Structure formats: C-alpha cells, structure tokens
C-alpha cells in the first residue's frame, strides 16, 4: 500500500511538472497561440444557372429544376453557336451574349456570428447585380474589375442563405474584342474578425535596393468595426522563398471604436535575392493581428525586391542592368475555354511565351485576373497593367463611355489597390489609343487620372498608349502628366521621337499587327502586303480566309515583325516593345469578314500552336540555340518554293535537298533570316547551322505521304482530381512513316473515360465555325487540340481519338490527389 501511494505521488508530481511546463511555455509563447484568423473559402462550386431574365431568382425559394448546375468560373458565350447576326458582331467573336442569372444556396456556421463576412468577385462580365437573402447589395458595371460586398447584416448564421447574381451583357456591341459573359473569374467567401486588415489593405515598396541590402517600406490599414476601443498587437514577418524568417517587427496599437488606422513599418533585408525575369525570387510579408495572444486576422503580401527605372537616353534598367523590354500584348480569353479563368491555361500560355524569350506582358486593354499577376510574379514577366480602352469618348456604342462619369475613379482605384503589391507590375497604363488625345479635353482628364494613380502609388511610372506622335496634335501628352510615353505603331518615327519630345522616356506600347495563319504560305514570300491597304478598302485575299505565315502581311496601320524589331533593337532610347499580340484571340478578325471570327495577329495561334515567326523571336530574344526552317515540304513538282531559316549562335546555314547542297547563307547587316528559292521535288529538306565550322544544329523537313495515323501528345501525363486541372493534348495527323501531314484536315472524334472530361477543342483556324465545346474537331494544316479537365473522379483517364481512314490511338493520363 505504501508503494502504491508513492507511485501515485510520483505520477502526480510528473503531471504537475508537465502542467507547469505547459503553462510556462504558453506564457513564453503567448503571442503565438493561434486560433483561426482570416478564413477564405473558395466559393466556385455548385451554382445554379439559367439564361434569360429571371428576377424571381432573388427570392428565397424558387423552382430550380430546369436550371443548370455548374461551377464557376463560367462563360456562357463560349458555349454558343457562331452567327454573324449575333449583336456582338464578328468583332466580338460572333457568339451570343444576353442576360443570365446565377444562384447559390449556402450555409455559414454559427461560429461566424462574431465575424465580418464578405463575398469577393474577381470579375463578372458585365453589369452584375447581387442580392443576398433578397437584400440588394449593389451593381458593378465594369466587367474586368474585382469587387466585394459585405454580407454580415443580412446573413442567417447556422442556416441556409441564398445569393443571386444577375449578369447583363445584353447591351451590344460593347467591346472591340471577345469578352465572354458570366461569372468568369473566381469567387471567394471571406470571414474576418471584427478587427481586421482592410480589403487590399497592405502596401509594399522597395525604395532602396543594392546587392548588400534592401529597404522595404510596408504599410497596413487596420479597421475596427466594433463600437469599443481595442488594444492589439501588429506583427509583420518577412520570409524568404523557403519559408525562413529574414526580418520581423511587432507593434502594440490602440484602435478607437469603429475606426481605422494606417501603420507604416520599414525593414532592412541583408544580401537580398533580387527579382528579375531571369530569376523571379519572391519573399512574402506575413501580417498578423493579435489580441491577448489570440490571432484575429492575417494576410500574406508578395514581395519582390527589385529596382527599376526608365531613362530618356538609354531606355530601361532593372537592378542596375540595362534591359530591353521584349514584350507582347495579351487579351484575357483562353481560346476554346473562352473567358472562363483557369490557372492551368494561363500557365501554359505563359510557358510558351517564356520559351520564346518574352520578358514582358501588356495587359490589353483592361485589368487582368489576380491569378495572371500571381503567375507573372512567379514566372518572371514585367507587366504593364492597363485600366481602360476608352474614357468619356467611346469607340463603339455600348463601351465604357456609358459608365465613365460614375465609375472611372472607383474602377481605377480598385485596379491600383488590388495590383500594387505585385513585383511584376512596373507600369500603370491609364488608357489605350484614347480619343481625348485629339482635343483639349485630354489635358485635364489625363492630369486627373495620373493624380488618382499617384494618390495610391508613386513608385511606378504612369503611361498611356498613344497613337498621335505629333506633339502639337496630342493633348494627352500636352498634359505633361505622363512619366512614360507609350507609342503604338509608326515604327519609322521611333528614331525621331527624342527630337519631337525632348527629355521624355519612350516605349513601343503596341507594335506590329502582323497577320498570319499557322502553316499557310503564299509565294513569293518577299511580296510585302497590307491587308486591307486602308480602312474599308478591298483587297485580294485568300479564298480560304488564311493569311501567309511568312512575315510578309500586316494590317495597314502596322508592320511586319522583322521591320519593327529591327528598329526597336537598335534604338537605345526605346525601352522596348509590346507585340500585338502574343496569342491569337477571339474577335477582331482583321482582315477578313465573317466567317472569320478570331484574330490573325498572334505569334501563337488560338490553340496554342506557335506560328513560324515564334522562332524568329526565339532566335533574337533567347540565348538557346535556334534553327527553324519552313515551310512544309508538300508542294507540286516544279513549283518555286521560298525556304526561310531563322537561326542564331551560328555563322551560317547550309540547305540540302535530298542530299544536294543548295548553298550556304549568312545573315548580313541587320538581317533576321536567310532564304533560298528552291525548285520543289519530294524528299528531304535539311538545314545545318555552323559556328566556326562546327555544327550547331540540324533540322529536317520531309515530304509526307497520305495521312494514315493519329498522334496524341499531352502537355503532361498526370493531373489532379480537383475538377480544375487541365491537360492540353496536341493531335497530329501523320503518314505511315510518322511524318506530319501538313495539309491534313481530317475530322477527329474523341472519347474520354475515367477521371476526365472534354472541355474544349480547337485547331487554330481563324474562320472555323465548329463549336469549341464539341467532342470532335477537324485538323487544320495537320493539327488540332483537345483539352481534358479533371471531373473529380480518382480514376485513370483514357482518351481515344478516331478518324475515318486513319488508325485510331489512345493515351492514358494518371490521376493524382
């Protein structure tokens, strides 16, 4: 018995010691006792949708039996049929618009009763109106802006709630390109403490940067929605890419009742790793608010440490290094997916541009999605963030002019506050080819818009894409407010710009407008063409609505790719250029009328297949070895065919036809390619590039026989079972020997089973009226594309492709959790 009590006493002593240690540890680390801070929930799943006007959707209970169930992001326009008579017109993609309603029933837990709850929309096109439990929250007309509403006063905690969204895209035409329709970007539900960091309430800048140290200036806005004084602790921690803490600051604060305060802090980072397109190193600042050791709210702010500036004589400098901006303009659509956001589609697009050597993107002509800027931060692109295509003077009947007076300041500030912390963003653009350039109203409007930008951010230059390069005719320039002059086209005047605009800084904000269809070629290749030669003029185009993929055709206001790059390349005062465009996009099908329904401007076609000029840029914009010869080698015997070669890192290229040398060519002066005129005969065309007599690269093109088989090439062999991940499968039509059949247009039918579904098909042909949402597609010049998306099932995905007269084929895609 005595031993029993000894054991009991010993156990009690151990228990007390453990308890003492526990409380001691808690006391020592009181500030790190973390309960849940900010709660951010993905709100994309399980919406009901119906086309047409359905005002009854605002009610708590309605019959939804004939409504569709779907997840957002969603674009209903891309699901429609092409028709010249749609009010969007071919310029808007010749797809339907109209009105649609979304509705969702959801519960919020009883435990949220002491929180402030918000709904956040990253983008709704267009004229969104929103109700929660029958209560009207508001309207946001601009389709490209992010916004949020507070739901707290109207929520039923622990019970069902109904949110209804009306999207009205019926006023047409309202855009010069395809917009899409619907809740086409992400939606989140956000629950914050009553004391919290304000919406877009952090701001970071790097006012001093060197190899040895960097000074980081950080500001945060904190709100108290309670009617009582609150004492809190603010804690900011800078962490590097591996998660290691490199700096931190704490501060004790008092918030008055229903008030907000702005707090500024400065950090010094020793031996910082600098952000650049070549090495996009990202830190982050973790901001937390505590009260008595309890975590109230927390956010993470991206931090890229870099120094940049524009110089009137030498162009652009990044981290002290002279850097040419080698950029492209991009619209927001994702081809067969329409406007509906998918981060995997964006990532594929940016990877292709990165491999080409692109280091910059102009977001034309509207604010991009938040995910796009997250990727440009992560992957390393310099960004020009653009607010508007028009101001008060519109370009078409129903564009932004209709809402300018009421919304321009709110929309501009929303873009600035949302995007100001992205290290990739290095220029703010307040407009594109604005009509106010041409009259005196442009002076004060420019001053006002620049002042709005400077009220939010003074660290980045403000620009506008200008078309008028005669100073006395340009009233936007005459405002004197712009930090950086962006000029569109007219490359022949770039050399003289410093004389016309002394002491100004310059960039080619939009250039080229070259026209091409992938894999289509017109002879002779050196015949320069403007299609059309002037606005509204007829021209002798191709019956099949194609444009030659030789760099020989542009819109009348533009130039070829080589013409513009040669100019920008040699002029130090030009900071760089943004090519119109990196990818083909839906709408604006210049030079052709319907059935053309997407652009010809892209360096890469709508399906994501590079056109030949891609390799010209790759040979100029990268250090990797490049040798690309074209066209294909299937012609009529005896025809004279122009063979071009883009190459770099070599002195010469020798061309062979069926083993016979056709001569050695070298670039002279500012040449960007070499060319041969060759009498066609079937067989093998081979090019060899050499440096100092040593072989650098060899490339061959072979004559294809009749199409015989299908090749499926996925961009990856596995995907997540998250109902979001995508696999892009390139479909090639080959002959028996495995050579691409460059003129094949076989109809390919697809079947998919297991954990995937078909969400898009395409072939890059700008005048195809086939549906993007079908399970089949004709090849165009030997290629088409099928896009597979996870359906949530954890099953092996099997894709089978069949075509009459060809051997069918299948591939498997693994599913990972």
Q: Are 738 and 816 in contact (CB under 8 A)?
A: no
User: Which of the four pLDDT bands, split at 50, 70 and 90, describes residue 653?
Assistant: very high
Region 127-152 average pLDDT: 98
Residue corresponding to tokens 């890229």:
304
**Average pLDDT over every residue of 449-454:** 98
* Size of the chain, expressed as the number of residues it contains: 817
| pLDDT tens per residue, range 86-133 | 999 999 999 999 999 999 999 999 999 999 999 999 999 999 999 999
Pairing relationship of beta strands 98-107 and 47-51 according to DSSP bridges: antiparallel
452-459: long-range contacts, CB 8 A cutoff, minimum separation 24: 452/409, 452/412, 452/413, 452/416, 453/412, 453/416, 453/428, 456/413, 456/416, 456/417, 456/420, 457/203, 457/416, 457/420, 457/428, 459/205, 459/207
| Alpha carbons 688 and 709: distance in angstroms, whole number | 29
- As a whole number of angstroms, the distance between CA 583 and CA 349 comes to 8
CB atoms within 10 A of CB 2: 6
β partners of residue 196:
223
Q: State the Cα–Cα distance between residues 50 and 542, nearest whole angstrom.
A: 41
Distance CA(113)–CA(129), nearest Å, equals 26
* Separation in Å, CA 236 to CA 225, 251, 265, 743: 22, 9, 9, 60
Mean pLDDT of the chain: 95
Question: From CA 459, how far away is CA 304, in angstroms rounded?
Answer: 14
Mean predicted confidence (pLDDT) in 799-814:
97
Residue 35, pLDDT score: 52
pLDDT at res. 229: 86
Residue environment code for 651-665, b if the CB has 16+ CB neighbours within 10 A, otherwise e: ebbbbbbeeeebeeb
pLDDT tier, 65 (very low <50, low <70, confident <90, very high otherwise): very high
What percent of the chain shows pLDDT beyond 90? 94
Reply yes or no on whether the pLDDT at 591 is more than 60. yes
* pLDDT at site 24: 37
Instruction: At 658, give phi and psi (nearest 5°).
Output: 50, 40
d(CA 385, CA 797): 39
CB 208 within 8 A of CB 222: no
**Token pair 């991940």: residue:** 725
| Nearest residue to 327 via CA among 502, 662, 574 | 574
Instruction: Look at residue 375 and give its three-state secondary structure.
Output: helix
The token pair at 288 is: 């937390």
Closest CA to 297 of 372, 225, 211: 225
pLDDT tens-digit map of 700-754: 999 999 999 999 999 999 999 999 999 999 999 999 999 999 999 999 999 999 9
Would you tell me how many other CB atoms lie within 10 Å of the CB of residue 35? 10
Angle, alpha carbons 693-698-702 (nearest 5°): 140
Whether the CB-CB separation of 519 and 784 falls below 8 Å is answered with: no
DSSP 398-443: TSGGGGHHHHHHHHHHHHHHHHTT-TTEEEEEEEES-GGGGSTHHH
Q: Compute the distance between CA of residue 579 and CA of residue 595 in angstroms, rounded to an integer.
A: 25
Q: What is the CA radius of gyration of the chain?
A: 29
- Residue 9 pLDDT > 60: no
pLDDT band at residue 20 under the 50/70/90 scheme: very low
Catalytic residue chosen out of the listed positions 91, 433, 562, 563: 433
* Pairwise CA distance, residues 43 & 47, whole Å: 9
Residue 330's H or E segment, with its range, is: strand 325-330
Token pair listed for 487: 């000029």
pLDDT digits over 163-197, tens only?
Answer: 999 999 999 999 999 999 999 999 999 999 999 99
Give me the half-sphere count of Cα atoms (radius 13 Å) on the Cβ side of residue 788.
Answer: 35
User: What average pLDDT does this structure show over 389-416?
Assistant: 98
Query: In this predicted structure, what is the pLDDT of residue 60?
Result: 83
Confidence band, pLDDT 50/70/90 cuts, at residue 454: very high
pLDDT band at 817 (very low <50, low <70, confident <90, very high): confident
Instruction: Give per-residue pLDDT as tens, 505-539.
Output: 999 999 999 999 999 999 999 999 999 999 999 99
Q: How far is it, in rounded angstroms, from Cα 713 to Cα 721?
A: 20
Asked, as a colleague might, if the bond just before 581 is cis with ω within 30 of 0, I would say yes
- Interval 592-598 mean pLDDT: 98
The pLDDT tens digits of the residues spanning 221-257 come to: 999 999 898 899 999 999 999 999 999 999 999 999 8
Residue 433 is a catalytic residue? yes
pLDDT score, position 14: 38
Catalytic residue among 386, 436, 510, 620: 510
Residue written as token pair 């400098």: 317
Nearest to 418 by CA among 220, 138, 202: 202
Residue 363, pLDDT score: 98
């Amino acid at each position: 018995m005595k031993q029993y009590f000894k054991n009991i006493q010993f156990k009690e002593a151990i228990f007390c010691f453990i308890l003492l240690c526990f409380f001691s540890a808690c006391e020592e680390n009181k500030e790190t006792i973390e309960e849940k801070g900010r709660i951010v929930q993905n709100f994309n799943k399980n919406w009901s949708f119906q086309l047409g006007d359905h005002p009854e959707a605002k009610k708590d209970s309605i019959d939804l039996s004939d409504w569709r169930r779907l997840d957002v992001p969603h674009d209903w326009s891309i699901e429609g049929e092409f028709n010249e008579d749609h009010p969007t017109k071919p310029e808007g993609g010749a797809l339907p618009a109209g009105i649609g309603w979304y509705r969702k029933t959801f519960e919020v837990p009883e435990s949220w009763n002491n929180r402030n709850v918000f709904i956040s929309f990253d983008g709704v096109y267009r004229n969104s109106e929103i109700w929660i439990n029958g209560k009207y929250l508001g309207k946001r007309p601009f389709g490209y802006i992010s916004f949020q509403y507070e739901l707290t006063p109207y929520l039923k905690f622990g019970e069902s709630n109904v949110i209804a969204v009306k999207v009205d895209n019926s006023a047409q035409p309202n855009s010069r390109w395809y917009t899409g329709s619907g809740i086409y970007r992400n939606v989140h539900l956000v629950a914050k403490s009553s004391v919290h960091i304000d919406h877009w309430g952090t701001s970071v800048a790097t006012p001093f940067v060197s190899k040895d140290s960097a000074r980081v200036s950080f500001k945060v806005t904190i709100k108290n929605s309670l009617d009582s004084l609150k004492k809190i602790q603010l804690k900011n921690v800078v962490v590097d890419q591996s998660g290691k803490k490199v700096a931190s600051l704490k501060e004790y604060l008092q918030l008055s009742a229903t008030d907000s305060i702005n707090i500024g802090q400065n950090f010094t980072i020793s031996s910082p790793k600098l952000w650049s397109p070549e090495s996009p190193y990202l830190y982050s600042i973790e901001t937390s608010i505590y009260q008595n050791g309890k975590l109230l709210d927390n956010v993470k702010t991206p931090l890229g440490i870099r120094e940049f500036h524009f110089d009137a004589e030498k162009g652009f400098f990044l981290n002290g290094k002279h850097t040419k901006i080698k950029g492209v303009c991009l619209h927001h659509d994702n081809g067969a997916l329409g406007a509906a956001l998918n981060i995997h589609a964006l990532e594929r697009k940016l990877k292709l541009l990165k491999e080409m050597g692109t280091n910059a993107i102009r977001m034309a002509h509207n604010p991009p999605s938040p995910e796009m800027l997250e990727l440009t931060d992560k992957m390393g692109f310099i960004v020009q963030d653009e607010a508007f295509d028009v101001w008060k003077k519109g370009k078409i009947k129903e564009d932004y002019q209709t809402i300018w007076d009421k919304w321009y300041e709110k929309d501009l500030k929303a873009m600035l506050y949302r995007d100001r912390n992205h290290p990739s963003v290095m220029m703010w653009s307040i407009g594109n080819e604005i009509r106010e350039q041409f009259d005196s109203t442009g002076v004060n409007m420019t001053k006002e818009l620049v002042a709005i930008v400077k009220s939010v951010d003074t660290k980045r230059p403000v620009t506008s894409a200008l078309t008028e390069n005669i100073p006395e005719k340009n009233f936007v320039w005459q405002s004197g407010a712009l930090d950086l002059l962006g000029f569109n086209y007219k490359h022949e005047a770039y050399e003289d710009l410093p004389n016309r605009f002394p002491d100004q800084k310059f960039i080619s904000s939009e250039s080229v407008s070259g026209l091409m269809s992938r894999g289509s070629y017109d002879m002779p290749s050196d015949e320069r063409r403007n299609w059309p030669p002037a606005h509204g003029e007829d021209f002798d185009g191709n019956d099949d609505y194609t444009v030659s993929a030789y760099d020989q055709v542009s819109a009348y206001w533009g130039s070829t790719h080589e013409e513009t790059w040669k100019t920008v390349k040699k002029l130090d005062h030009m900071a760089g250029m943004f090519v119109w465009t990196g990818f083909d996009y839906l709408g604006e099908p210049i030079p052709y009328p319907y059935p053309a329904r997407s652009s010809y401007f892209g360096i890469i076609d709508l399906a994501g297949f590079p056109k030949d000029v891609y390799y010209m840029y790759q040979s100029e914009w990268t250090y990797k070895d490049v040798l690309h010869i074209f066209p294909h080698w299937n012609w009529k015997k005896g025809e004279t065919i122009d063979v071009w070669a883009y190459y770099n890192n070599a002195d010469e290229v020798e061309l062979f036809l069926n083993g016979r040398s056709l001569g050695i060519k070298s670039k002279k002066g500012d040449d960007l390619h070499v060319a041969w005129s060759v009498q066609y005969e079937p067989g093998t065309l081979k090019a060899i590039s050499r440096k100092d007599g040593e072989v650098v690269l060899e490339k061959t093109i072979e004559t294809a026989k009749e199409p015989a088989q299908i090749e499926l090439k996925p961009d990856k062999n596995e995907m997540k079972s998250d109902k979001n991940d995508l696999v892009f499968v390139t479909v090639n039509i080959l002959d028996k020997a495995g050579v691409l059949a460059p003129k094949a247009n076989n109809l390919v039918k697809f079947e998919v089973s297991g954990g995937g579904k078909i969400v898009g098909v395409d072939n890059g042909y700008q005048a195809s009226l086939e549906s993007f949402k079908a399970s089949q597609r004709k090849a165009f010049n030997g290629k088409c594309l099928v896009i597979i998306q996870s359906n949530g099932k954890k099953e092996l995905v099997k894709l089978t492709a069949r075509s009459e007269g060809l051997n069918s084929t299948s591939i498997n895609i693994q599913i990972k959790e």
